[in-house]
Amino acid sequence: MCLSFLCNKSQCFSRDRVGIQDFVLLDAYTSETAFMDNLRKRFNENLIYTYIGTLLVSVNPYKELGIYTKKQMDIYMGVNFFELPPHIFALADNVYRTMISETNNHFILISGESGAGKTEASKTVLQFYAVCCPSTRLLDNVRDRLLLSNPVLEAFGNAKTLKNDNSSRFGKYMDIQFDHQGAAVGGHILSYLLEKSRVVHQNRGERNFHIFYQLVEGGEDELLRWLGLERNCQKYRYLIQGECAKVSSINDKSDWKTVQKALTIIEFSEKDIEHLFAIIASVLHLGNVHFEASAHGYATLNSSAEVHWLSKVLSTDTSIRFSNNYALEVLSPFTAEHAKYARDALAKAIYGRTFSWLVNKINESLANKDSTRKTVIGLLDIYGFEVFDVNSFEQFCINFCNEKLQQLFIQLTLKSEQEEYEMEGIEWEPVPYFNNKIICDLVEEKHRGIISILDEECLRPGEATDFTFLEKLEEKMCGHPHFVTHKLADPKTRKTLERGDFRLLHYAGEVTYSVVGFLDKNNDLLYRNIKEVRGFTTVATQFKSSLAGLTEILMTKEPWYVRCLKPNHCKQPDHFDDVMVRHQVKYLGLMEHLRVRRAGFAYRRRYEVFLKRYKALCPDTWPHWKGTPAEGVQRLIKHLGYKPDEYKMGRTKIFIRHPRTLFATEDAFEICKHELATRIQAKYKGYRVKGEYQRKREAGIDLFCCKRFFSPSCRFIKGFINRNQPVSMDNSEYLAFVRQSYLTRLKENLPKSVLDKTSWLTPPPIMQEASVLLRKLHTRLIVRKYVRGISAQQKVQLQIKALTSYIFKGRKENYPQSVSLCSLFVYSGEQDINIRVLQLICPEGIKYSVPVIKYDRNGFRPRFRQLIFTQAAAYLVEEAKIKQRVNYSSLKGVSVSDLSDNFLILHVTCEDTKQKGDLVLQCSYLFEALTKICVVTKNHNLIKIVQGSVRFDIQPGKEGFVDFKSSSESMVYRAKNGHLMVVSPHNAMHTTL
């Protein structure tokens, strides 16, 4: 069937009725209108997920859709990413299976504005992994703790806002750690920028953090009495400023029970829980402390909880003055207003530290006790770009975070796209995009950025205010294209700005910030004296540093994205607000991402996947293709009439330039499926009729009585339609046919080798369980045949290879690549050893030798040497001279990094200053050498795999360091700090095995 016919013929398949499942396949991919039309069309049909390549766009439906059941999880487990309709389960499964197969680390960035469904998306991914991962009693405990960390963090870190009843008021990054079998064995959580100001102030229509209301409404009577609390939120100033302590969508009593249960399972002790809620209660009591002005205008404490130390802390400013070498404590009384600031600063500091302690306790519970290296999937649930009527310090930090993530997002997307093209041998066409580095620099540049200027105002002596900060900004930022204030604006723009505002032109659009409160929030009054005595870091600088750390973490992992959208402000189901969604599409960079993904080719698939789906369209490839998948695809597209400019053949994938080419292929496939079903039905019916006829002839039954049997029947078609349902009268005969057909094809295509992991036929759903059992039996059979046929020498080599796997699998980055190489122990032999050296050490029995580069202990100059292992010692040799002998009894261990470099450090017992210290070596045959030394010394635990840095002894009392890190290229140099810096390409392959 030629595609030129189908390209001009309108086909009304389900694909067209519900829009395009992958935006990459939009013909008008540069049109924002076409993008919105497709999004709206799918949303109106309750299809809330759409792809942009592997990026998932999710629109909050604000109603239950029944698409997150265990049955749905089973459907998406182990299925090709694009085989089923878009779903968050498909993305989660693909990330998990890629991690398992490639043994590398990944992260899922979930972003969107408050109320778009980020927190729910994060929980859904966690629940999917809880179901799909291997299960044991120990692993179930880890799974339960991972899942139950969510309600605890939500209670202490989430709150009702104007946009969302369960808004995360902190950023959260969670690493889920998996072992080599794919079991979840631990986790670790990092938190960012908790909105502490919410503890002491809430806007109208908003609440404080959930935990306060849960404690007051749900806490047991005895607990409340012990804490001195009443069961009435109206009694506490910190809980009623938003005038909405009760929220219809929130059940504080029920949530309290959930949190109590979660704390127990996460292994908080009774004493920990008591202390935790005593601190939460103390914050509520602190909020009720109030001050009155004295006759002199100073603050006096007026509270039933009055105590001397509290009065001193909250109503006076304490400073240290030096006179005649004596330190004097000077007390300056606060005004009533100043004392309220101090009270609120103390409450925020207490809650902030409590939240940090809580996260650390959860991490202790989630910690993986096994020291072997694990692969991880990170989940980043971060606050989205925020624009309110009044935007303050919190929104400034949040939007700066989104600027940084957008920068990373574009970099990683461009990088991964370009790398795929290069890897496949396809020419890359550069993509124009907006580089928001100019905005990031505006905020974070050292000495010149907004954060630096803010810090200067916070830390300088004298009377600094929010408005002196604004004046400094106007002085330093004058003329910047992305910054404007009332003073700097043109007359028209000036009308939209207050005198205390500054406006930034972010990548997502303009945001106007009020400087009121910037200094206080960046530099809590509680610490104003502390900073004069010792080092002090402001909130903005801490946040900037933590963002830099987060970026470093993410850059070492493979990225996946979930972009969450709010369809309307009112949280109404079935309502799609075009203006609001269009704005989110812009600031989430979806059109930009789409343009990057469409740079050249709209569609790309591995040859095996493409051939499997469309092979029925060509008589040469159907039903079985005997050649390579690439050859099969070439034959198939030639038959379909693809033009040369419509596709490119990569090394492992076919690249199709235009969506219309793929759609024409899909339309041909739809027609072909119906034709195939008709042919199969006719063949099967003939098979049944013939069998029934034969049976009745043998039984002597009058065929006339069987006339009814020969009438046309739809049972086969009905069985095909119901093939995925439980066995019934409607589908039992069809399923029997499917079983027989699969077993017949399997018999003719059984793998011939243990290493053949790909040719086992994919079973139909009805045969999945049987296929697993049959595959295990067949694997045991060919393993048994293989074991019987190996020689004694091969057996020894396999044992050594197993030892190498035991030492390095899942622990050193380039081990997986080394496994596929054929060489095992490239033994250089005695002929490579100088004759004089050979005469000296030959009596000890030479076991192995290998060329190495030795780095001097002081200057790290490289020297070519030979490393020789005998039965008794390791020798470092320079031509005819033995430079160092290390008895195995004095060998303390061998350190190697977990990255893809080929360095090793031999640690030697060194008690005499005249003795030589540890050896820093570089070896091209690293895995061979390390395995051999373990065999010779009979110590399989000799190797220590480390992260980051290795300390070594230059000589007794003098130490050196080797630092390891990943980058785009390999380098070895002496760093400014005097350490030897070893830089290796990520997942590079330097060694042989």
- Indicate if 384 and 402 belong to the same structural domain: no
Q: How far apart are CA 341 and CA 314, in angstroms?
A: 9
pLDDT at 711: 37
**Closest to 171 in 3D by CA, of 153, 194, 189:** 194
* Mean pLDDT confidence for 732-737: 80
What total of structural domains would you count in the chain?
A: 5
Boundary of a domain, candidates 758, 789, 820? 789
Q: Kindly give the pairing relationship between strand 55-59 and strand 49-52.
A: antiparallel
- pLDDT at residue 17 greater than cutoff 60: no
Residue 371, CB-side half-sphere exposure with 13 Å CA sphere: 7
Residue 339, both tokens: 């004392």
Give 614 or 729, the one with higher predicted confidence: 614
C-alpha pair distances (Å), 236 with each of 21, 135, 231, 283:
51, 46, 10, 10
| Whether residue 565 has pLDDT greater than 60 | yes
Q: What is the pLDDT of residue 199?
A: 95
CA distances from 167 to 67, 170, 207, 208, 217 (A): 23, 9, 10, 11, 20
pLDDT given for residue 717 in this prediction: 65
Please check whether residue 890 lies inside any domain of the structure.
yes
Asked whether residue 118 is marked as a ligand-binding residue, the answer is yes
Let me know whether 305 and 377 are in one domain: yes
Could you tell me the CATH number of the domain that includes residue 658? Answer: 3.30.70.1590
Q: CA nearest 45: which of 68, 67, 28, 71?
A: 67
Which segment of 31-35, 430-434, 961-965 scores lowest on mean pLDDT? 430-434
Residue 707 has, within 13 A of its CA and on its CB side, a CA count of 2
- Mean pLDDT in residue range 826-844: 73
- Domain assignment of residue 173, yes or no: yes
The CATH number of the domain holding residue 524 is 1.20.58.530
449 touches 442 (CB < 8 A): yes
Q: Is 977 exposed, middle or buried (0-12, 13-18, 19+ CB in 10 A)?
A: exposed
Give the highest mean pLDDT range of 404-418, 477-491, 676-690, 750-764: 477-491
- The answer, yes or no, to whether residue 295 has pLDDT greater than 70, is no
Q: Quick one: pLDDT band at residue 44, thresholds 50, 70, 90?
A: very high
| Residue at which a domain ends, from 498, 526, 556 | 556
- Mean predicted confidence (pLDDT) in 584-605: 81
Is 33 within a domain? Answer: no
Q: What are 625-679's pLDDT values in tens digits?
A: 888 999 999 999 999 889 888 888 998 999 888 877 887 887 788 777 666 666 6
Better-scored residue on pLDDT, 90 or 537: 90
Q: What is d(CA 917, CA 911) in angstroms, rounded to the nearest whole number? A: 9
Q: pLDDT tens digits for 435-470?
A: 788 999 999 998 899 999 999 998 887 788 999 999
Is 116 annotated in a binding site? The answer is yes
Which residues does residue 943 pair with via DSSP β-bridges, in sequence order?
Answer: 894
Find the radius of gyration of the CA atoms of the chain: 34
State the pLDDT at residue 333: 65
pLDDT above 90 for 308: no
d(C-alpha 809, C-alpha 819), whole Å = 10
| 235 and 379 co-located in one domain | yes
882 in the same domain as 829: yes
| 378 & 440 share domain | no
Which CATH number characterizes residue 366's domain? 3.40.850.10
Return the pLDDT at 320.
Answer: 47
185 & 228 share domain: yes
pLDDT of residue 919: 93
- Whether residue 411 sits in one domain with residue 377: no
Residue 920 is predicted with a pLDDT of 94
pLDDT recorded at residue 671: 78
Give the pLDDT confidence score for residue 331 in this predicted structure.
56
Please say if the pLDDT value at position 49 is more than 80: yes
Consult the annotation and say whether 883 binds a ligand: no
Residue 698's contacts (CB-CB under 8 Å, 6 or more residues apart) are none
Listed range (204-213, 413-422, 881-890) with the worst mean pLDDT: 413-422
Q: Is 78 annotated as a binding residue?
A: no
* pLDDT for position 991: 35
Residues 75, 147 within the same domain: yes
Local confidence band at 715 (pLDDT 50, 70, 90 cut-offs): low
Residues with a known catalytic role: 114-115, 119, 164, 167-168, 384, 386
Mean pLDDT of 838-862: 86
Q: Which residue has the higher pLDDT, 589 or 51?
A: 51
Residue 343 has pLDDT above 60, yes or no: yes
Q: Are residues 399 and 378 in the same domain?
A: no
CATH value at residue 864: 2.30.29.30
Whether 558 has a pLDDT exceeding 60, the answer reads yes
Q: Check: CB of residue 486 under 8 Å from CB of residue 494.
A: yes
Which pLDDT score, from 0 to 100, does residue 8 have?
41
Range of the domain at 816: 795-985
Burial of 183 (0-12, 13-18, 19+ CB in 10 A): middle
Of 757, 789, 821, the position where a domain reaches its end is 789
Q: Which of 167-176, 478-487, 518-527, 946-955 has the lowest mean pLDDT?
A: 518-527
Q: For residue range 372-399, what is the model confidence (pLDDT) as tens digits?
A: 667 899 999 877 777 888 899 988 998 9
Is 914 part of any known ligand binding site?
Answer: no
- Any binding-site annotation on 492? no
Q: Tell me which of 563-577, 821-835, 893-907 is least confident.
A: 821-835
| Residue at 698 is within a domain | no
144 near 152, Cβ under 8 Å?
no
Q: Give percent above pLDDT 90 in the chain.
A: 34
Three-class DSSP labels, 423-454: HHCCCCCCCCCCCCHHHHHHHHCCCCCHHHHH
* Single-letter amino acid, residue 749: N
Lowest mean pLDDT among 133-142, 273-282, 351-360, 709-718: 709-718
Structure tokens at 738: 């499917």
| 592 found inside a domain | no
Contact between residue 686 and residue 710 where contact means Cβ atoms under 8 Å apart: no
Burial class (CB in 10 A: 0-12, 13-18, 19+), 111: buried
Residue-level pLDDT at 722: 66
Mean pLDDT of the chain: 82
Answer whether residue 824 shows pLDDT above 50.
no
> Is pLDDT larger for residue 663 or for residue 69?
69
Q: Tell me the average pLDDT across 487-506.
A: 92
Tokens of 137: 């009693």
Does the pLDDT value for residue 992 go beyond 50?
no
Residues 519 and 432 in one domain: yes
Q: Do 362 and 430 share a domain, yes or no?
A: no
Q: Which residues pair with 846 in a beta bridge?
A: 870
Distance CA 758, CA 752 (A): 11
pLDDT at position 261, please? 93
- Domain check: are 357 and 464 in the same one? no
Which one has a higher pLDDT value, 749 or 355?
Answer: 355
274 pLDDT band (50/70/90 cuts)?
very high
432 pLDDT higher than 80: no
Is 812 within the bounds of a domain?
yes
* Strand residues in 454-500 grouped as ranges (E): 483-485
Highest mean predicted confidence (pLDDT) among 209-218, 286-295, 646-655, 901-910: 209-218
> Is 991 a member of any domain?
no
- Residue 582 belongs to some domain of the structure: no
